[in-house]
Each structure stands twice: as structure tokens, then as C-alpha cells.
Structure 1
Amino acid sequence: MIEDGLRYQTQGDDWLERVLIGGVVGFLGVFVIPAFTFSGYMLEVMRRVMGGDRKNPPEWSDLDLVELTVDGLRYVVLTLVYGLAFTLVAGLPVFVFLLGGYGTDSGILVGFGLLIGGLLYLVGLLALAVVLPVATANFVAEDSISAGFDTTVLRDVVANGTMLKAIVFSVVINVVVQVVGSVLLFTLLGILLLPFVGFVGQSAVMYVWARGFADAYEEEYGRPPLDGPATSVEGGVGTTGFDAETGVDTDADEGHRY
């Protein structure tokens, strides 16, 4: 799966053009709006892979950039909520113990608070690394921000061995990309190549997340998260509208369901 992910963006006759555009969009992410477009493209990668199309990466010319950008912005909202929850879980104990130790000579109380906060930070970071891929994939499958917080799917798929394996694979890909990026920093040409390596690497991560989620979802619920070829953002996002808890297909292909 790791090799498939890393080779994903090199498929097709126009792969070089696709990677060049992706790298440029990623580089322009410093201007904020292109960063949303970049994220939207990565979500489209997941949508294609979950829909069963693992050989044809999205072509930039076939996509509606406005829809991609909106999709990316919605995803940022999802990640911000998770980030805020993570910050509260890790930071609240530290704040409480610091407040309790304020005005006293008890450095032990403050130190204990920092220790607890540090442990919670590590646990929270690990939990976020496991939960966020599933939340992202379900957000894509249902085209709804609220789907990213579906506790039934999160509980079932996060604990699935296939999904956990995919998450480990994505970590390996990130490490490989980081190592390659570190090596490229030693030359001017290498520095110029960094955005394109990042585009290929991020696509690989999303590929692995999507493939792991699709397989795990089908194992848990007896059906894929998306039926048939994924629909391009340009033509409207196709979703299954499947309720994992009730087993009802609501067939909610009605645009974004916030």
C-alpha cells in the first residue's frame, strides 16, 4: 500500500503536469486561499480512491477550483474543532494546577500539573493521529462536516485493524517524505523541488487513508463508503448518505450537507 500511495501521482500520461500544478498550488499556500484549494484537491484524491478509482488521479483541468477551495475550507473547520479539543484536553490540567499553585510556594503542585499536561499531550497527540484520518474519510464520504464527528463510525473504524495498519503506513510515508525533504535542503535545486515532493507525499498519505478507510468500512458495515466511481467535485460531490448506525441509505446527493 505504501508503494501504491507513493506512485499514485505518477500514473497517467499527464502526471508531470499534474504534479507541477500541485506543487505550485501547494507553494502558493502561503497566501492562504491556495492552501484551501490544495486541501480540496487532497480530499478529491480520497473521494476517488474510496470510490474505487485508484489508477486515475484527479486532473486539475477537470476540477472546479472554487468547489475545491470551498471543500478545503470546510475541512479546515473540521480540523480546527479537533485541534481545539486537543488543546483543551492537554492544556486544561496545566492551567488548573498552575492556578492552584499561584501565590504559593508549592513548586511540586506546578511541576505535577506540567507532568500531567505533558502526558495528556502525548496521549492526545496519538489519539488525534488515529482519529483524524477516519474523521477526514467519513467527512469526504458523507460530504458533511458533522460526519467527521460521527461517533459510531469513529468507534468502529478506528478500532479496525485494516484502518490502523493504513494509519501506520501513512506515518511511514510522512517519515520518508521528511527524510527526502531534509536531503533536498542541501541544494538549491532540491529546495525548489520541495513543494512537488510535498504534493506527491501528501497525495500518498490521502491515498492510504482512503484505501484503508474504504476497506475497513466495508469490513464493518458490509458495503463500501462510496458506491462506484467517485464523482468529481466539478459535477457535484456524490455521497452515499449511508447511516452506519441505522443501516439506512438516505441517498443524500444534494450538494454540501454542512
Structure 2
Amino acid sequence: MIEDSLKYQTQGDSWLKRILVGGLLLFPGALLVVPVFTFNGYMLEVMRRVMGGDTANPPEWGDADLAGLTVDGLKHAVVVLVYSLAVLLVAGVPFFGLVFAGMGIDSGGLSIVGILVGGLVYLVGVLALAVVLPVATGNFVRTDSIGGGFDLDVLREVTTNGTMLKAVVFGFVVNILMQVVSSVLGITIVGYLAVPFIVFAGQSAIFYIWSEGFRDAYEEEYGEPPLAGVGGSTTSTTTTDEAWETDTDTAVENGGVDDDRTDDRF
């Protein structure tokens, strides 16, 4: 899974152009918010394609709806923001409660306890967020709605699935590799300029892993692919029509229609 994810953006004849454009988005993104949303929207499109089973054709910038990608990235940012604020709120209650209580009774020890407890709760919250957020993102893509990111049933079932947990770990490994490579390259000016392109390829790999993990885990839990029915399917209709035409032709050749034959389409 990791190897395939790292090779994902190198597929196709225009892979270099695709990576260059993706990396260039992060340069103005350091000062402007909109390119970051567009970048994130592209990653969601990667997730949508891989989740649907297309692992050989990364989205091309020339075919992309940039406005649509930006809106998707913005909506996903809302999901991430809500989860992040929830972690800060849960960690902040014991932190500020004990710190202010210690200040009120002039107890430095109680304030220190508040800092330690708050820090511990925050750490646990961050770890929980690292597990929950990939599932929330996957369901956001599946439903194409902000509400999908907070579907408690899917979060409960898929987050605890072993396949999804393995994907979370693999995504974490890729993230560490990306950070290490970026840090090494950042030592020199030329290497520093290459970092955004490494980040683009690395983020694509992470979303690739998340989407495969979510797809397999969702199918294990619910018995159908997460994007089942999206866009419709003509397979069964086509097959039935072909069978009907064959039956009709056979009947004509035999000089009539067999009364015992039933048209299954109706």
C-alpha cells in the first residue's frame, strides 16, 4: 500500500507537470488562504478517485474544476476546524480550570497539575484526532457533505476497523518520511524550493492510503463499496436488454414467441 501510494503521482505522461502545478500552489499558499483550499480540494478528489477504484489516473489540473476543488477544500476545512476546536475545548477545561483555581488559592502546585493534566488530555485528543480525521474525511468524500464528516455510526464502525487502523498507521509513516525528506532538503536554498513538490506528492500518498483503507473498511462493515451507486450503473440494464433482444430474435426465428417465456424486465 505504501509503495503504490508513493508512486501514485508518477503515473501518466504528464506526471511532472501535475506535480509542478500542485507544488506551485503551496508557494502563494504561504501568504494566501485560497490556494490552500484548492490544494486540499485536489487531495479530496484524489481520495474520491481511489475510493472509487481508480488508482491509475491521478486528477489532471487541466481537467479540474478549480472553483469546485476550492469549495470542497473549504468545506473540508470546516470539518477539520470543528474537530480541532473540540480537542482544544476538552483539553482546555482541566487546564484553565485547575490553573485558575491554583491562582485563586495561591497554589502553584495545583496550577502545575492543571498544566500537566491539560497537556495529557490534549495529547490524547491529538492522537484520537489522528485516527478519527481520516475516517471523517473519507465519509465527507463519500457523502459529499459536511454532515458526512460527523456521521457517528460510520465513525464508530470504521474507526475501530482493523483495516482502517492499519491505513492510519501507514499514512503516519508516509507523513514521517515526508517530514524527514523535507527537513533534509530544507538545509539548502535549492532543496528548500523543492519542499512544496515533495509535500504535494506526500499528501497525495497519504490521501491515497486513507481512501484505500476507508474503502476496504467500509465494505467490510457495510457489505458494499462506499461509493456504490454514485454516478449510476448501466451494467444490469444493458445485460437485460441484450438478453431481451436475444430472446426476441430467437422467437422470431422459431416463428413466434414462446408463451411460457416471461419478460423479466417488467
Q: 1:227 aligns to what SS in structure 2?
A: coil
Deviation by residue 1:15-41 (Cα, 9 ceiling, x = unmatched): 001000000012221211111100100
Deviation by residue 1:178-204 (Cα, 9 ceiling, x = unmatched): 111111112222111111000000000
Q: Distance in 2 between matches of 1:14 and 1:226?
A: 27
- Sequence identity of aligned pairs in percent? 64
Deviation by residue 1:195-241 (Cα, 9 ceiling, x = unmatched): 1000000000000000000000000000010137x8xxxxxxx59xx
Q: Which runs of 5+ in 1 are unaligned?
A: 231-237, 240-258
Number of residue-to-residue matches in the alignment: 231
Which residue of 1 is the match for residue 238 of structure 2?
none
Q: Distance in 2 between matches of 1:35 and 1:167?
A: 23
Which residue of 1 is the match for residue 17 of structure 2?
17
The residue type paired with residue 79 of structure 1 is: V
Greater mean deviation of Cα atoms: 42-51 or 108-117: 108-117
The residue type paired with residue 103 of structure 1 is: G
Alignment of 1:88-127 (within 5 A): 88-127=89-128
Q: 2:135 aligns to what SS in structure 1?
A: helix
Deviation by residue 1:106-127 (Cα, 9 ceiling, x = unmatched): 1221111112111101110110
Q: Which runs of 5+ in 2 are unaligned?
A: 233-266
The residue type paired with residue 100 of structure 2 is: L
Structure with bigger gyration radius: 2
Alignment of 1:154-165 (within 5 A): 154-165=155-166
* TM-score when normalising by structure 1: 0.87
Which residue of 2 is the match for residue 26 of structure 1?
26
Q: 1:102 aligns to what SS in structure 2?
A: helix
Alignment of 1:34-53 (within 5 A): 34-53=35-54
Q: Distance in 2 between matches of 1:100 and 1:188?
A: 49
CA-atom RMSD, angstroms?
Answer: 1.3
Q: 2:212 aligns to what SS in structure 1?
A: helix
Which residue of 1 is the match for residue 65 of structure 2?
64
Which residue of 1 is the match for residue 201 of structure 2?
200
* TM-score when normalising by structure 2: 0.84
The residue type paired with residue 3 of structure 2 is: E
Q: Distance in 1 between matches of 2:97 and 2:39?
A: 39
Q: Distance in 2 between matches of 1:159 and 1:126?
A: 14
Q: Which is bigger in relative contact order (C-alpha 8 A, separation at least 6)?
A: 1
The residue type paired with residue 24 of structure 1 is: L
